Amino acid sequence: MENANYETAVLNSNLYKIFTGVYNDFRSKSSNDYMFELPPLEYQDFIDAIDKEYVKCIVLLENHIPTAFLIYTTAISESIELNVIHCLGNEDLLNKRKLLLERFLKETEKERAEKVVCYPLLGMQAGFTGDISHYGFKFVGLAVLRFMMDNKNSEEVLNSLASEPQDESYKVTTWENMYYDKAVEVIHEGFKTASDALFDTRYLTKEGTDDILDKIVNGVYGEFLPETTSVLLYNGKPCGFCFTNITGGKIANIPLVSIEKEHQGKGLAKHLIKKSVSSILQKVRSGEREFTEVNVSAETNNIPALKMYRHAGFKEDYSYPQAYLPIQ
């Protein structure tokens, strides 16, 4: 039963005017409190996204006034993506989050029969882990690492890496569309048993992996950078990939790195990273682009991956729990 002072509702046009305050409070805190790299949509743009059903929002009303909300979407991937739970002020937070989450679970009951819920607990939301674990959520730790364009030490570390493998059977080259089908195969094999598949089940099938890669190369997840995406060739045939895109105006990103199983364990991934980051640096130095950084995420317990990125000049910035609710 909901508290007599509280009720939950799906955001609709009847609430648009009185919802402005709590949403703008969230926007003002999105960077410091929630570690959002990009500012959330302006209020009218957010309302437009609601009207077009790109995102959905559940509002908590306290004496008929919005004081908290939950935003989620089912439109971007095969998962139900819970984006944020925000409360105005610090009173009765546990109860407010509980009511919002229970309404969310009710609203998504049918979809959850076929889809995983994923929820990155960024910033202050990391403190929600104990609360949402009671609803069956499980967690994977993710670390965010950054290569800053103005960090000379990082650049020197990157430059100290060899550009090409010692084994001349391997060469590092740049992305071409003819590598697409092989990339789907390599990424599927590399990620189907990784933790990423727990909160994005598309990695479990080639068809799902194809959807992920299609959205990367066609700019759905941010501008694709084919000229800085690197490909590892073995005797002229592709066997590894390092994709790059733009997640924000001045933030480059490495969303996927994968090498065919038979070529793993040879330290080859660092050559892909070296070529991709060096190419991005070159674009910045020439004035062609204005990137401030390259970022990447890795599991907090994946020590080899963390070491690889450190050896390429990346530095760990912060970590957060990636929550996921398995299909019921």
Domain ranges for the chain: 6-136, 143-321
pLDDT number for residue 4: 53
User: Please, what CATH class does the domain formed by 6-136 belong to?
Assistant: alpha beta
Full pLDDT tens readout for the chain, 328 residues: 344 589 999 999 999 999 999 999 999 999 999 999 888 999 999 999 999 999 999 999 999 999 999 999 987 767 999 999 999 999 999 999 999 999 999 999 999 999 999 999 999 999 999 999 999 999 999 999 999 999 999 999 999 999 899 999 999 999 999 999 999 999 999 999 998 898 888 999 999 999 999 999 999 999 999 999 999 999 999 999 999 999 878 999 999 999 999 999 999 999 999 999 999 999 999 999 999 999 999 999 999 999 999 999 999 999 999 999 998 7
Name residue, tokens 């996921």: 324
pTM of the model: 0.88
Name residue, tokens 């790059």: 244
Backbone phi, then psi, for 153, in 5-degree steps?
Answer: -65, -45
Q: Which residues of 182-195 are buried (b: 16+ CB within 10 A; e: fewer)?
A: bbbbbbbbbbbeeb
Which CATH architecture is the domain 143-321 placed in?
3-Layer(aba) Sandwich (3.40)
pLDDT number for residue 1: 38
3-state secondary structure 249-306: CCEEEEEEEEECHHHCCCCCHHHHHHHHHHHHHHHHHCCCCCCCEEEEEEECCCHHHH
pLDDT number for residue 328: 73
**Both tokens assigned to 35:** 């570690």
User: Cα–Cα distances in Å, from 187 out to 17, 203, 220?
Assistant: 45, 8, 18
Distance CA(233)–CA(218), nearest Å, equals: 23
DSSP 142-181: EEEEEEETT-HHHHHHHHTS-SS-SSTTEEEEE--GGGHH
**Both tokens assigned to 309:** 């990125």
Distance CA(285)–CA(152), nearest Å, equals: 12
pLDDT number for residue 2: 46
Size of the chain, expressed as the number of residues it contains: 328
The yes-or-no answer to whether 6-136 and 143-321 have a common fold is yes
pLDDT number for residue 249: 81
pLDDT number for residue 75: 79
